Chain A
Amino acid sequence: MAGHGESHVHPVSLYTRTLWWLMALLVATVVAGYIPNVPNWLGVVIALTIAVWKATIVIMNFMHVRYSGKLAWLFAGAGFFWLLIMLAFAFADYVSRPWEPFNGWPE
Chain B
Amino acid sequence: MTTTTYTGTDKPNYLNWKTSVASWLLTYDHKRIAILYLVSISIFFLLGGLAAAMIRMELATPKGDLLTSDVYNKMFTTHGVIMIFLFLIPSIPAVFGNFLLPLMIGARDVAFPRLNLLSWYFFMAGAACVLIALFRGGIDTGWTFYTPYSSSFAKGEVSLAIVGVFLAGFASIFTGINFLVTIHKMRAPGMTWFRLPLFVWAMYATSLIQVLGTPVVAITLLLVAVERTFRIGIFDPNLGGDPILYQHLFWFYSHPAVYIMILPAMGVISEVISAFSKRRVFGYHFVAFSSLAIAIIGFLVWGHHMFSTGQSIYAGIVFSFLTWIVAIPSAIKTFNWMATIWKGRVHWDTPMLYALGFMGLFVIGGLTGLHLAAMATNVHLTDTYFIVAHFHYVMVGGAIMGYLAALHFWWPKMTGRMYPEGWGKLAALLVFVGFNLTFFPQFILGYMGMPRRYHSYPEEWATLNVLSTAGSSVLGLGYLLPVIYLTWSLKYGKVVTERNPWGARGLEWELVDTPPDPHNFERTPIVTRPAYDYNHPEEPTGFVPKPRPVVVGGKDG
A: residues with CB less than 8 A from B are 3-4, 71, 78-79, 82, 85-86, 89-90, 92-94, 96-97, 99-100, 106
New A-B pairs, 12, CB < 8 Å, besides A89-B318, A92-B318: A4-B557, A82-B212, A82-B299, A89-B248, A89-B300, A89-B302, A90-B248, A93-B311, A94-B312, A97-B310, A97-B312, A99-B312
Complex contact B312–A89 (CB within 8 A): no
Chain B's closest residue to A88 (CB) is B300
Chain A's closest residue to B319 (CB) is A89
Please encode chain B, from 523 to 541, with 1 for each CB lying within 8 Å of some chain A CB and 0 for all others.
Answer: 0000000000000000000
Specify which chain B residues have a CB less than 8 angstroms from the CB of A78 in the assembled complex: 212
Complex contact A99–B314 (CB within 8 A): yes
Chain A's closest residue to B557 (CB) is A4
Specify which chain B residues have a CB less than 8 angstroms from the CB of A85 in the assembled complex: 299-300
7 closest A-B pairs by beta carbon, nearest first, are: A93-B315, A96-B314, A96-B312, A97-B312, A92-B315, A82-B212, A93-B312
Given contacts A3-B557, A99-B312, A100-B312, contact A93 B248 (CB under 8 A): yes
Closest Cβ–Cβ distance, residue B257 to chain A (whole Å): 15
Best-surrounded residue of A3, A79, A90 (most CB of chain B within 10 A): A90
Complex contact B303–A93 (CB within 8 A): yes
In the bound complex, what is the Cα–Cα distance between A92 and B321 (angstroms)?
14
Specify which chain A residues have a CB less than 8 angstroms from the CB of B245 in the assembled complex: 90
B: residues with CB less than 8 A from A are 184, 212, 216, 244-245, 248-249, 252, 299-300, 302-303, 310-315, 318-319, 557
Specify which chain B residues have a CB less than 8 angstroms from the CB of A92 in the assembled complex: 312, 314-315, 318
In the bound complex, what is the Cα–Cα distance between A86 and B430 (angstroms)?
43
Chain A's closest residue to B248 (CB) is A90
Given contacts A3-B557, A85-B299, contact A71 B184 (CB under 8 A): yes
Partner of A96, one of B184, B212, B249, B315: B315
Specify which chain B residues have a CB less than 8 angstroms from the CB of A93 in the assembled complex: 244, 248, 303, 311-312, 315
Best-surrounded residue of A4, A93, A106 (most CB of chain B within 10 A): A93
* Main secondary structure on A side of the interface with B: helix
Chain B's closest residue to A85 (CB) is B299
In the bound complex, what is the Cα–Cα distance between A97 and B311 (angstroms)?
7
Partner of A86, one of B252, B310, B315, B318: B252
In the bound complex, what is the Cα–Cα distance between A79 and B318 (angstroms)?
23
In the bound complex, what is the Cα–Cα distance between A4 and B318 (angstroms)?
45
Closest Cβ–Cβ distance, residue A86 to chain B (whole Å): 6
Closest Cβ–Cβ distance, residue B231 to chain A (whole Å): 21
Specify which chain A residues have a CB less than 8 angstroms from the CB of B249 in the assembled complex: 90
Specify which chain A residues have a CB less than 8 angstroms from the CB of B315 in the assembled complex: 89, 92-93, 96
In the bound complex, what is the Cα–Cα distance between A89 and B310 (angstroms)?
15
Specify which chain A residues have a CB less than 8 angstroms from the CB of B299 in the assembled complex: 82, 85
In the bound complex, what is the Cα–Cα distance between A48 and B249 (angstroms)?
22
Complex contact B300–A100 (CB within 8 A): no
Closest Cβ–Cβ distance, residue B234 to chain A (whole Å): 14
Closest Cβ–Cβ distance, residue A107 to chain B (whole Å): 10
In the bound complex, what is the Cα–Cα distance between A71 and B319 (angstroms)?
30
Specify which chain A residues have a CB less than 8 angstroms from the CB of B313 in the assembled complex: 100
Between A and B, 20 residue pairs with Cβ closer than 8 Å are A79-B212, A82-B299, A85-B300, A86-B216, A89-B315, A89-B319, A90-B245, A90-B248, A92-B312, A92-B314, A93-B244, A93-B311, A93-B315, A96-B312, A96-B314, A96-B315, A97-B310, A97-B311, A100-B313, A106-B310
In the bound complex, what is the Cα–Cα distance between A79 and B213 (angstroms)?
10
Specify which chain A residues have a CB less than 8 angstroms from the CB of B184 in the assembled complex: 71
Closest Cβ–Cβ distance, residue A92 to chain B (whole Å): 5
In the bound complex, what is the Cα–Cα distance between A92 and B317 (angstroms)?
11
Closest Cβ–Cβ distance, residue A85 to chain B (whole Å): 6
Specify which chain A residues have a CB less than 8 angstroms from the CB of B248 in the assembled complex: 89-90, 93
Chain A's closest residue to B237 (CB) is A106
In the bound complex, what is the Cα–Cα distance between A93 and B302 (angstroms)?
12
In the bound complex, what is the Cα–Cα distance between A97 and B242 (angstroms)?
13
In the bound complex, what is the Cα–Cα distance between A94 and B216 (angstroms)?
19
In the bound complex, what is the Cα–Cα distance between A97 and B315 (angstroms)?
8
In the bound complex, what is the Cα–Cα distance between A79 and B310 (angstroms)?
29
In the bound complex, what is the Cα–Cα distance between A3 and B557 (angstroms)?
7
Closest Cβ–Cβ distance, residue A12 to chain B (whole Å): 26
Specify which chain A residues have a CB less than 8 angstroms from the CB of B311 in the assembled complex: 93, 97
Specify which chain B residues have a CB less than 8 angstroms from the CB of A71 in the assembled complex: 184
In the bound complex, what is the Cα–Cα distance between A93 and B318 (angstroms)?
10
In the bound complex, what is the Cα–Cα distance between A71 and B184 (angstroms)?
9
In the bound complex, what is the Cα–Cα distance between A94 and B242 (angstroms)?
11
Chain B's closest residue to A102 (CB) is B313
Chain A's closest residue to B315 (CB) is A93
Chain B's closest residue to A101 (CB) is B313
Specify which chain B residues have a CB less than 8 angstroms from the CB of A96 in the assembled complex: 312, 314-315
In the bound complex, what is the Cα–Cα distance between A100 and B311 (angstroms)?
10
In the bound complex, what is the Cα–Cα distance between A78 and B215 (angstroms)?
14
In the bound complex, what is the Cα–Cα distance between A78 and B249 (angstroms)?
18
Chain B's closest residue to A86 (CB) is B252
Specify which chain B residues have a CB less than 8 angstroms from the CB of A100 in the assembled complex: 312-314
In the bound complex, what is the Cα–Cα distance between A96 and B319 (angstroms)?
13
In the bound complex, what is the Cα–Cα distance between A45 and B249 (angstroms)?
24
Chain A's closest residue to B180 (CB) is A75
Specify which chain A residues have a CB less than 8 angstroms from the CB of B302 in the assembled complex: 89
Specify which chain A residues have a CB less than 8 angstroms from the CB of B300 in the assembled complex: 85, 89
In the bound complex, what is the Cα–Cα distance between A15 and B453 (angstroms)?
59
In the bound complex, what is the Cα–Cα distance between A106 and B319 (angstroms)?
21
Chain A's closest residue to B316 (CB) is A93
Chain B's closest residue to A81 (CB) is B212
Specify which chain A residues have a CB less than 8 angstroms from the CB of B212 in the assembled complex: 78-79, 82
